Amino acid sequence: MKEDKDTRVVEVFTGSPWEAEFIKGLLESNGIESILKDGGGLAALAPYYIGQEIAVLVNEDDYENAMEIVRNREKANE
């Protein structure tokens, strides 16, 4: 994800490491770049600890599209 001083990122999902990786891949397959953030900083495929929650962040401009994708995924799992 290209970052500059004007780029703002927002959280669209928080969950287990494998769920966050899945959401990241889903977003990227729909043309939305994302990054993962754990409690200690940004991570792409860093080692995780059991029970650790990971946040998926996207550019603020992609927020609405990303949330639609996340909501549709959650509906499919109901």
Q: What is the b/e burial string over 25-63, where b = at least 16 CB atoms within 10 angstroms of the residue's CB? A: ebbeeeebebbbbbeeeeeeeeebeeeeebbbbbbeebb
> What residue segments make up the domains of the chain, in order of their start?
7-41+48-75
> Given this model, what pLDDT does residue 31 score?
97
Tokens representing 46?
């860093």
> Given this model, what pLDDT does residue 55 score?
95
Decide if domain 7-41+48-75 falls under CATH 3.30.70.1530.
Answer: yes
d(CA 29, CA 40): 27
Query: Mean pLDDT in each 10-residue stretch from start to end of the chain (78 residues)?
Result: 73 93 97 87 51 89 97 82
Q: Which of 20, 47, 48 is nearest to 34 (CA)?
A: 20
